[in-house]
Structure 1
Amino acid sequence: MMSKRSVTIDDLHSVKLVADPNISPDGSRIAYVVTTVDKEANGYRSALWMASADGGAEPFQFTGGHAKDANPRWSPDGAHLAFLSNRNETNQIYVMAADGGEAWQVTSGPNAVSEFTWSPDSQSFVFVTKIEPEEKPESDTKVISTLRHKFDGEGFWDGNHRHIFRVGIQGGDPDQLTDGDWDSTQPTLAPDGSQLSFVSNRSDDRNSNSKSDVWVMDIPDGEPARVTPEDGVYGAPAWSPDGSRLAYAGNPVVEPYGPTTLADLYVWEPESDEHRRLLVNLDREPGNSAISDSRYGVPAAFPTWTSDGNAVLSLLSDSGSIHVYTCPMDGQPQPFSEGARDIQSFTRANDGTVVFAASTFSNPTEVFVVSPNGTETRITHTNDRFLEDVELGEIEEVHYESDPGVQVHGWLVKPPNLNPDAKYPAIIQIHGGPHGMYGVGFFHEMQVLAGRGYVVLMTNPRGSTGYGQEWVAGTLSDWGGADYRDVVAGVPFLESLSYVDPERVGITGGSYGGYITNWAIGQTDRFKAAVTMRSTCNRLSLYGTSDLNAMYNDWEFGGSPYDNAAFYLERSPLTYVKNMRTPLLILHSENDLRCPISQGEELFVALKKMGQEVEFVRFPDESHGLSRAGQPVHRVERLERICGWFDKYL
């Protein structure tokens, strides 16, 4: 028997990314997506796969080629499977018979289709795409007149809005259902096909806020009516089986918690105009807010009704785990499954069979089925061969004290075959957000570091999701306060472990995690090395250069910098650059519009002027999401530079 090896950086090419399982209406078959890294093309390929829901047959690849086929969706009658594919450059809708055969292209507009759904009679689709301008601009200059004018990963706004169209299953000219100086997205049709629900921000100041509302209209040409109160972020509408009610998710953006107000699941009854809250006593938010580098093509989360209309199924994030919960109209929500797992999406058949995609610390994402009687079956074993070859680091769930009485939750990732009598260097990892969380899913980067001999502490400080309202709001007007204390309290915790060398502790994080990394090395010299990624250092200059900061930072920092400049500077790591003595590696993407590369430039120049040990690495043609979906060659180099820096200084 061959000995196992540790996980390596090059295993980025080995892990196959499973996502988006959809079960056929009769509960017999599952279509899902497998994405692989194409090393030669420096990109990704996605194909549809098919499996039997009873696990009795070996899954097989359903589509092939060099394109990205994704978003498989069964027709309500089960006769066809539709999906999105970029096989002709831009994502368009394709359809094929449920039993296989040649797929035909349904849409062919100049712009990509971003989302679609079947009509109840299986004869047409409603879909979302950008409106093509009547006249092409003659100049290539950008004329900007709105506060919201760019978005990371997309670039500068081209002035064209997304709207909803309808097209027959055989294609042809689509009918436009929505219009106006706003986007209309997330279309869903009532069970009788007579009404369309969708999401749109039509507020008067829509270009300077991040609000969204659920709307309903009779089709084809009814007047849209707003369902939600125009005071927050609402979306993911889902009609009840009889069409009498509409479920949706969201939250108001109001005092005292602003955008950190926990989202809820709502059920709207048109006759009474009542909006019933289903999670009011749970203190957890719907959806999956976990962060991972081993996902690709995870669909947006929508609530799903039970066949009798008495409950709604939804993902909920709780202390690092994500489960499907059954949320009854009256009563307490209950998890559909148990254990530490990261469920990323699910669908439900007419007979109540549920299929979901889930991963754990020790297993990348696979597909599972829960029968109506509650029996769970694992359907796929896509990454078994990879796991047979590697020795993963052991994971230990931990809690440690920060402020008196405050317990911080996290996980230790230990080197494989750890020798308790040895002394290992340690690294504290800080997630982005801050309103996200480290979860219990597979994380390639953490296993790479553990495989190189590091003890990794993944921590969820105040500001993280999954721990209730007060915890997630813990950073409001206090970035670098309680959250920093939660992170730095990890140092004495690590020092208390007999196998950790207290003289070799590093720190790293990306986005908000990069902010805290920068902040920490300006407040303490307890870290021997640091790596900051896609970070911020100057909250004053960031406000006017980021794609989103002007939309929400007033809540996070107690007002705008024009009214509160002193506080913005007080909580900017750059203010404390003269205190920074820790060797720092700065990694930044040149096309990052969320935390622009100027933030990395400012910090690099300041540290060089101070004569400190610093290195600045710029990744061309990459956005804020480099670590999760960037070019594979750059993702590999990023990990090589992180490991190289810590190897040098720890």
Structure 2
Amino acid sequence: MTQIAPYGSWKSPITTDLIVAGTIGLSSITIDGDDVYWIEGRPSEGGRNVIVRHTPDGQTTDITPPPFNVRTRVHEYGGGAFLVADGTIYFSNFADQRLYRQTPGKEPQPLTPEANMRYADGVIDKQGDRLICIQEDHTQNGEPVNRIVSINLKNGEDIQILAEGYDFYASPSLSNDGSQLCWISWNHPNMPWDGTELWVAPMNTDGSLGEISLLAGGNAESIFQPQWSPDGMLCFVSDRSKWWNLYRVPGVTEAENVDPLYPLDAEFGMPQWVFGMSTYAFTAANKILCTFSQNGIWHLATLNTTKKHLQEIEIPYTSISSLTAKGSQVCFLGSSPTEPSSVIQINLSTGDINVLKSSTDLKIDSGYLSIPKTIEFPTENGKSAYGFFYPPTNKDYTAPGEVKPPLLVKSHGGPTAATSSSLSLKIQYWTSRGFALLDVNYGGSTGYGREYQQRLKNNWGIVDVDDCVNGAEYLAKQELVDNNRMAISGGSAGGYTTLCALTFKDVFKAGASYYGVSDLEALATDTHKFESRYLDGLIGPYPETKEIYKQRSPINFTEGLSCPVIFFQGLEDKIVPPNQAEKMLEVLKQKGLPVAYVAFPEEQHGFRRSENIKRALDGEFYFYSRVFGFTPADNLEELEIINL
């Protein structure tokens, strides 16, 4: 029988113990022969990343022994941390950033020497018996140097520089016959979604590159995932049409003949925050399996490059990434509003779909799951913004009378990123306890075309904040939420949006910042190379536009803060150092506003340890319970709230 209880006090089976005990991260799928490999990030092992192999007999085996942790720090965000060739695995180990080689049944052995170098995004050159990859050199003072190198597989100390001179490199791809190498590169202040260049060069007999040719790209064109077809045609994703679409080059020096494969107002690419991202793969010389996004929903399709015909494949997944294929065997990470992120295998010949690994073995009764509704709402300057709205849902409870639920607005990180409709137990944690939740794809998010993404140009801290505020007010006007109990929460760049909304607007009554930016000047002068000029496009060049940085930094306008805030911070965070949260904390303490600070000594930018993930999620809920005045059904660990 359904019980009547206030929103926020509903008892839910979706607990933090359940979430951290049964949930792992999945990424980086690759196929080698008949075997499928992927990485599992395990909070229960201190966030260790483990390579796992699935064989045709259905067996799944851990490949990486402890204490090895498969993670590269190139660009700090990593990705592309391992590759497999004929059963031999090459991977970057987090502790020392050396490359290791692991042959079947044996312990990993170091391939590269001890040096202050990092490696990512590798490919095997069989003809040259070497590994070609991105190297990030930290041996000198100042910014690290990025380049493309080859590493002799017989002698890992024999490292040859193939390309250098640009600030950044990514996506080296070797043609099937080993005769051509392509890659993308870009310079400050561009980010890879702003403007990159696609280069190609023949491979000389001594392993060096011949004359390089620029095929596509520039300061206002983003190139993503260059890849060779089985018959030697070079394909890539470009947003030259204002949407990330697929293209090919008939001849590797014919830049003027770049050919669109299927023009569509949809995104066949995504922002390259990490290495090794993949949205398409060849299943034959003239057939591409691809995934594309429209209005925040991902689709799977086959594309005949001869007929230029796209045929969608019906699958029960709305979010797709890390797509790879070999013949009729296809693998990707798939999820939906009711299905968690999983390694999915599809046989294109039979249509059979198999789940090789799920990020959680938990089976949640659908009566506790909130199904998101895609919403479009009006925002500034007569434009629209987008989001996913989750109504409170718990089959055991209903709220009394005409009371409206509290609202939690989620502001995603990046800010050049996007949220998705895939099942998130962290979101369901809130909705099953009686919160409504709005996950905002504010202007600047990807998935809606280059023009939408460019809305944030010079407007970070304005457009994103307006869209979060307008989304909340739209729901309040629809009488779907209680406008007196609206909170906002976000991490990293989403934490900045959160702090701006709390400082410069008067709509939200509480907020939570996870390693959020409060001082843009500090971020501009004290961050890693990959993002060191990111703010040029989001705010303006520094120090030339120093005044704008000051005007948009919440730390400088704390007099505008008038509601409770909780901060969560990793003390080893190099991207947003702890002093940013600690400065805000001191100001709020002095103002007499309720404030809490939860620091995690061993965490960096994002929390990986299960006990810390639990502490943060429960801590945020506890904080709101005290601020909004409801009694949680959970027996939550108390935390100190100053000035409450």
Conserved 8 A contact 1:250-1:265:
yes
Conserved 8 A contact 2:279-2:292:
no
In structure 2, how many angstroms separate the alpha carbons of the residues matched to 1:398 and 1:15? 26
How far apart are residue 430 of structure 1 and its match?
1.1
Equivalent position amino acid for 1:397 in 2: K
The answer on 1:214 being equivalent to 2:207 is no
| Partner in structure 2 of residue 152 of structure 1 | none
How far apart are residue 36 of structure 1 and its match?
2.5
How far apart are residue 531 of structure 1 and its match?
1.1
Q: Deviations over 1:264-314 (max 9, x none)?
A: 4432322533352537842333334599xxxxx994226433422x35444
How far apart are residue 647 of structure 1 and its match?
1.8
The answer on 1:19 being equivalent to 2:7 is no
| Partner in structure 2 of residue 535 of structure 1 | 516
How far apart are residue 546 of structure 1 and its match?
3.9
| Partner in structure 1 of residue 176 of structure 2 | 191
Q: Deviations over 1:606-625 (max 9, x none)?
A: 4344333333444434333x
In structure 1, how many angstroms separate the alpha carbons of the residues matched to 2:148 and 2:372? 47
Conserved 8 A contact 1:131-1:163:
no
Conserved 8 A contact 2:92-2:120:
no
| Partner in structure 1 of residue 15 of structure 2 | 7
| Partner in structure 2 of residue 373 of structure 1 | 349
| Partner in structure 1 of residue 623 of structure 2 | 645
| Partner in structure 1 of residue 5 of structure 2 | none
Q: Deviations over 1:366-391 (max 9, x none)?
A: 22233233614123254564225897
The answer on 1:573 being equivalent to 2:554 is yes
In structure 2, how many angstroms separate the alpha carbons of the residues matched to 1:172 and 1:472? 42
Conserved 8 A contact 2:243-2:265:
yes
The answer on 1:521 being equivalent to 2:468 is no
How far apart are residue 639 of structure 1 and its match?
2.1
Equivalent position amino acid for 2:329 in 1: T
The answer on 1:412 being equivalent to 2:398 is no
The answer on 1:584 being equivalent to 2:571 is no
Q: 1:318 is matched with which residue: 262, 272, 294?
A: 294
In structure 2, how many angstroms separate the alpha carbons of the residues matched to 1:483 and 1:644? 27
How far apart are residue 411 of structure 1 and its match?
2.7
Distance 1:522 1:615, change over 3 A: same
The answer on 1:441 being equivalent to 2:422 is yes
Equivalent position amino acid for 2:497 in 1: I
In structure 1, how many angstroms separate the alpha carbons of the residues matched to 2:376 and 2:567? 29
Conserved 8 A contact 2:134-2:149:
yes
Equivalent position amino acid for 2:15 in 1: V
Q: What pairs up with 1:237-248 in 2 under 5 angstroms?
A: 237-243=226-232, 245-248=233-236
Q: 1:32 is matched with which residue: 25, 38, 42?
A: 38
In structure 1, how many angstroms separate the alpha carbons of the residues matched to 2:609 and 2:552? 33
In structure 2, how many angstroms separate the alpha carbons of the residues matched to 1:435 and 1:209? 13
Conserved 8 A contact 2:291-2:299:
yes
The answer on 1:348 being equivalent to 2:325 is yes
Runs of 4+ in 1 over 6 A off after TM superposition: none
Q: TM-score, normalised by structure 1?
A: 0.78
Equivalent position amino acid for 2:466 in 1: R
| Partner in structure 2 of residue 455 of structure 1 | 436
Distance 1:388 1:445, change over 3 A: closer
| DSSP-derived class of the 2:496 partner | helix
Conserved 8 A contact 2:296-2:420:
yes
Q: What pairs up with 1:98-113 in 2 under 5 angstroms?
A: 101-102=105-106, 105=109, 107-110=111-114, 111=117, 113=119
Q: What pairs up with 1:83-232 in 2 under 5 angstroms?
A: 83-84=90-91, 86=93, 90-96=97-103, 101-102=105-106, 105=109, 107-110=111-114, 111=117, 113-119=119-125, 124-130=130-136, 143-144=141-142, 149=143, 157=144, 161-168=146-153, 174=158, 176-178=160-162, 180=164, 185-201=170-186, 206=187, 210=191, 212-217=196-201, 218-219=203-204, 220-227=207-214, 228-231=216-219
In structure 2, how many angstroms separate the alpha carbons of the residues matched to 1:125 and 1:370? 30
How far apart are residue 439 of structure 1 and its match?
0.3
How far apart are residue 354 of structure 1 and its match?
1.6
Q: Deviations over 1:91-135 (max 9, x none)?
A: 5343545xxx446647243255423223356965434445696xx
Distance 1:337 1:225, change over 3 A: farther
In structure 2, how many angstroms separate the alpha carbons of the residues matched to 1:421 and 1:88? 50
Distance 1:414 1:120, change over 3 A: farther
Q: Deviations over 1:391-416 (max 9, x none)?
A: 74322314253246736331315343
Q: 1:358 is matched with which residue: 334, 343, 353?
A: 334
In structure 2, how many angstroms separate the alpha carbons of the residues matched to 1:59 and 1:513? 40
| Partner in structure 1 of residue 248 of structure 2 | 267
Identity %: 20
In structure 2, how many angstroms separate the alpha carbons of the residues matched to 1:540 and 1:280? 43
Equivalent position amino acid for 2:536 in 1: D
In structure 2, how many angstroms separate the alpha carbons of the residues matched to 1:567 and 1:645? 33
| DSSP-derived class of the 1:386 partner | coil
Equivalent position amino acid for 1:92 in 2: L
Equivalent position amino acid for 1:648 in 2: R
Equivalent position amino acid for 2:484 in 1: E
Conserved 8 A contact 1:413-1:446:
no
In structure 1, how many angstroms separate the alpha carbons of the residues matched to 2:272 and 2:18? 24
Distance 1:234 1:288, change over 3 A: closer
In structure 2, how many angstroms separate the alpha carbons of the residues matched to 1:166 and 1:371? 35
Q: Deviations over 1:35-65 (max 9, x none)?
A: 43335xx33251413143xxxx433215363
Distance 1:382 1:569, change over 3 A: closer
| DSSP-derived class of the 1:347 partner | strand
Conserved 8 A contact 2:23-2:360:
no
In structure 2, how many angstroms separate the alpha carbons of the residues matched to 1:9 and 1:35? 17
Q: 1:249 is matched with which residue: 237, 260, 267?
A: 237
| DSSP-derived class of the 2:569 partner | strand
| Partner in structure 2 of residue 556 of structure 1 | 538
Q: Deviations over 1:340-379 (max 9, x none)?
A: 5221212111x33322221223332222233233614123
Q: Deviations over 1:163-219 (max 9, x none)?
A: 421434x66654525265556553322211223223444xxxx46655643333313
Conserved 8 A contact 2:99-2:110:
yes
How far apart are residue 72 of structure 1 and its match?
6.6
Conserved 8 A contact 2:92-2:98:
yes
Conserved 8 A contact 1:290-1:437:
no
Conserved 8 A contact 1:508-1:532:
yes
In structure 2, how many angstroms separate the alpha carbons of the residues matched to 1:187 and 1:531? 40
Q: Deviations over 1:462-517 (max 9, x none)?
A: 22211223322222333344433332233344436777444322111123322222
Conserved 8 A contact 1:278-1:328:
no
| Partner in structure 2 of residue 154 of structure 1 | none
Equivalent position amino acid for 1:30 in 2: V
| DSSP-derived class of the 2:559 partner | helix
In structure 1, how many angstroms separate the alpha carbons of the residues matched to 2:524 and 2:389? 33
In structure 1, how many angstroms separate the alpha carbons of the residues matched to 2:55 and 2:289? 23
Conserved 8 A contact 1:72-1:81:
no
In structure 1, how many angstroms separate the alpha carbons of the residues matched to 2:18 and 2:355? 27
How far apart are residue 225 of structure 1 and its match?
0.6
Distance 1:513 1:161, change over 3 A: closer
| DSSP-derived class of the 2:340 partner | strand
Conserved 8 A contact 2:511-2:566:
yes
Conserved 8 A contact 1:288-1:315:
no
Distance 1:216 1:617, change over 3 A: same
